[in-house]
Amino acid sequence: MTHPIAQRTTSEWQQLDAAHHIHPFSDMGALNRLGSRVITRAQGVYLWDSDGNKIIDGMAGLWCVNVGYGRQELADAAYRQMLELPYYNTFFKTTHPPIIELSKLLSEIAPPGFEHFFYCNSGSEGNDTTLRVVYQYWAAMGKPGKKYVISRKNGYHGSTMAGATLGGMDYMHEQMPSKVEHIVHINQPYWFGEGGTLTPEAFGRQCAAELEQKILELGADNVAAFIGEPFQGAGGVIFPPESYWPEIQRICRQYDVLLCADEVIGGFGRTGEWFAHQHFGFEPDTMTLAKGLTSGYIPMGAVAIHKRIAQPLIDCGDFNHGLTYSGHPVAAAVAMANLRILRDGGVVAQVKTDTGPYFQQSLRQALADNPLVGEIAGQGLVAGMQLTADKASRKRFANGGEIGLKCRDYCFKNNLIMRATGDRMLLSPPLVMTRSEIDELVDKAKHCLALTAKDLGMM
Ligand SMILES: *Cc1c(COP(=O)(O)O)cnc(C)c1O
């Protein structure tokens, strides 16, 4: 087979990239002057760039390559499906075997009650779809006045207009003169940064109480849903206090407000549970899925709809929503192969019982004597490390974002992918990472955080 992609030198690629390609979430002027890193191939938990550097991927791409790179099973599934039926739509009284089988498999993997799935191509589209499902449900229930959706500051729900409005990222809102209507935000349950003198437990209850206040302010008859990530991913791997989610659930049930979990990062084994809400012990009405659904090998998103929501939706006539690629057969075939590895290959179980606890423990041991690291949040194979000027008083740096980027530059030089979100460093490696690869990841993270602390005169 001939490769359709030309082989070029790094500088040729960089020049062409600068000439024709606008990157997501980037300052293109600055990036074009610097030149992008060109990733040319990957295997397991490692990436290679066009200069031949071997890089350990501590972020599983963008939180998505759960089964690791180079899996023959996924490539074969796509190849076979492309020859057999590369595309057909699921609009006009039509369906196909891959999407039927995937829906059956998802209903086995998802918690009891999640038996129905609507498909799209990304997490952003999944959250747009969630809104459509929520509104259609309340219309079916004879309560069309319930139209407000409450989400959190510093939450991330994607970058379509609805996704970005739902998200609580100010820097995104600033570039959106119009937003989707009827979306309001409450504070995030970020104890380290915003908990003041409260205990985590009391702070968790206080943040949940904000939901109740907001519902009362808007009127419960006007509130359709609350949406949140079980733990905030892009916002900095922020794990809410244990008191938070049970209270949120109680409030949603009390005021007849749907509880929507954005499981785009948390889903498919990240915390060692299949879905992150299972770790936090609550029961959502809908789940937004993407990323780990196909391990990023091909785009696919979905909304899982609990049967108590799905049945009224099914019984109320036309649902006027859909995408050309809803239930794409090739994506469905890849998702099947991916989920089989995660389930039948024992990957999720291994994260729960072995590599997850090992990673959490190793990271805490390795960073215990670095005064720059104020807290490590995480479970399974995801962690957020808070940079702090003083651990005891939880003092944050005025220029925390710059320090995060400085640390990330050290990671870059040391062939480690670790993400910086403001003053938090994030890790979320492929779920197939072995103990010895975890040792390498943790060693490199320790080294880069120590270099950063030394620059600040803290070590
Ligand atoms: C990545 C992400 C999204 C958006 O998914 P896209 O596929 O980038 O559209 C939505 N929600 C959460 C929690 C995410 O992490």
Q: Does the beta carbon of 124 lie inside 6 Å of ligand 1?
A: yes
| pLDDT beyond 90 at 116 | yes
Ligand 1 centroid–CA 152 distance in Å is 15
Ligand 1 centroid–CA 10 distance in Å is 30
Q: What is residue 258's three-state secondary structure?
A: strand
Answer positive or negative: Cα dihedral of 203, 207, 212, 217.
Answer: positive
- Please write the tens of the pLDDT for every residue from 262-287: 999 999 999 999 999 999 999 999 99
C-alpha 405: how far from its chain's center?
21
Which band of pLDDT confidence, cut at 50, 70 and 90, is reported for residue 332? very high
Q: Does the beta carbon of 166 lie inside 6 Å of ligand 1?
A: no
pLDDT score, position 168: 97
Ligand 1 centroid–CA 131 distance in Å is 15
Query: How large is the average pLDDT for residues 193-218?
Result: 98
Give me the chain's average pLDDT, please: 97
Ligand 1 centroid–CA 366 distance in Å is 30
Determine the Cα–Cα distance for residues 45 and 48; give it in Å rounded to an integer: 10
State the architecture of 37-70+346-455 in CATH terms: Alpha-Beta Complex (3.90)
Both tokens of 335, joined, read 């998702």
Q: Distances from the Cα of 7 to the Cαs of 3, 132, 279, in angstroms?
A: 9, 44, 45
Identify which of 230, 250, 251, 232 has the alpha carbon closest to the alpha carbon of residue 190. Answer: 232
Ligand 1 centroid–CA 135 distance in Å is 21
Determine the Cα–Cα distance for residues 44 and 46; give it in Å rounded to an integer: 6
Q: Are 388 and 225 in contact (CB under 8 A)?
A: no
Both tokens of 230, joined, read 């079980």
Q: Does the beta carbon of 233 lie inside 6 Å of ligand 1?
A: yes
Ligand 1 centroid–CA 156 distance in Å is 7
Percent of the chain residues past pLDDT 90, beyond the cut? 99
Determine the Cα–Cα distance for residues 20 and 36; give it in Å rounded to an integer: 13
Q: Are 290 and 264 in contact (CB under 8 A)?
A: yes
Both tokens of 217, joined, read 């302010």
Q: What is residue 364's three-state secondary structure?
A: helix
Q: Are 423 and 449 in contact (CB under 8 A)?
A: no
Q: Does the beta carbon of 162 lie inside 6 Å of ligand 1?
A: no
Both tokens of 419, joined, read 């993400």
Ligand 1 centroid–CA 265 distance in Å is 7
pLDDT score, position 231: 98
Q: Are 253 and 278 in contact (CB under 8 A)?
A: no
Identify which of 70, 47, 56, 43 has the alpha carbon closest to the alpha carbon of residue 438. Answer: 56
Q: Distances from the Cα of 58 to the Cαs of 345, 377, 449, in angstroms?
A: 21, 16, 14
Class of domain 72-344: alpha beta
| pLDDT beyond 90 at 361 | yes
| pLDDT beyond 90 at 388 | yes
Answer positive or negative: Cα dihedral of 120, 123, 126, 131.
Answer: negative
Ligand 1 centroid–CA 124 distance in Å is 6
Query: How large is the average pLDDT for residues 205-234?
Result: 98
Q: Do domains 37-70+346-455 and 72-344 have the same CATH topology?
A: no
Which numbered atom of ligand 1 lies nearest the CA of 123?
A: 5
First-to-final CA distance of the chain: 54
pLDDT score, position 390: 97
Answer positive or negative: Cα dihedral of 367, 430, 278, 166.
Answer: positive
Determine the Cα–Cα distance for residues 384 and 265; give it in Å rounded to an integer: 14
Determine the Cα–Cα distance for residues 438 and 318; give it in Å rounded to an integer: 49
pLDDT score, position 412: 96
Q: Are 201 and 240 in contact (CB under 8 A)?
A: no
Spatial CB neighbours of 24, under 8 Å, sequence gap ≥ 6: 159
| pLDDT beyond 90 at 251 | yes
- Tell me, what amino acid is at 391? K
- Tell me, what amino acid is at 317? G
Which numbered atom of ligand 1 lies nearest the CA of 124?
A: 9
Which numbered atom of ligand 1 lies nearest the CA of 163?
A: 10
Q: What is residue 187's three-state secondary structure?
A: coil
Pocket test for ligand 1, best of 62, 65, 124, 159 (most atoms within 8 A of CB): 124
Determine the Cα–Cα distance for residues 151 and 261; give it in Å rounded to an integer: 11
Both tokens of 439, joined, read 């040792």
Q: Does the beta carbon of 404 lie inside 6 Å of ligand 1?
A: no
Q: Give nearest CA residue, ligand 1 atom 11.
A: 157
Q: What is the DSSP letter of 355?
A: I
pLDDT score, position 28: 98
Query: How large is the average pLDDT for residues 94-121?
Result: 98
- Please write the tens of the pLDDT for every residue from 164-182: 999 999 999 999 999 999 9
Determine the Cα–Cα distance for residues 305 and 118; give it in Å rounded to an integer: 8
pLDDT score, position 30: 97
Q: Does the beta carbon of 156 lie inside 6 Å of ligand 1?
A: yes
Q: Give nearest CA residue, ligand 1 atom 6.
A: 123
Ligand 1 centroid–CA 324 distance in Å is 20
Q: Does the beta carbon of 168 lie inside 6 Å of ligand 1?
A: no
Q: Are 261 and 286 in contact (CB under 8 A)?
A: yes
| pLDDT beyond 90 at 3 | no
Query: How large is the average pLDDT for residues 35-61?
Result: 98
SS3 letters across 304-330:
EEEHHHHHHHHHCCCCCCCCCCCCCHH
pLDDT score, position 1: 64
Which numbered atom of ligand 1 lies nearest the CA of 64?
A: 1
Spatial CB neighbours of 141, under 8 Å, sequence gap ≥ 6: 312
Q: Does the beta carbon of 355 lie inside 6 Å of ligand 1?
A: no
Query: Domain locations in the chain?
Result: 37-70+346-455, 72-344
Q: Distances from the Cα of 81 to the Cαs of 6, 69, 299, 300, in angstroms?
A: 26, 20, 15, 15
Determine the Cα–Cα distance for residues 163 and 131; give it in Å rounded to an integer: 10
Q: Does the beta carbon of 234 lie inside 6 Å of ligand 1?
A: yes
Both tokens of 447, joined, read 């080294």
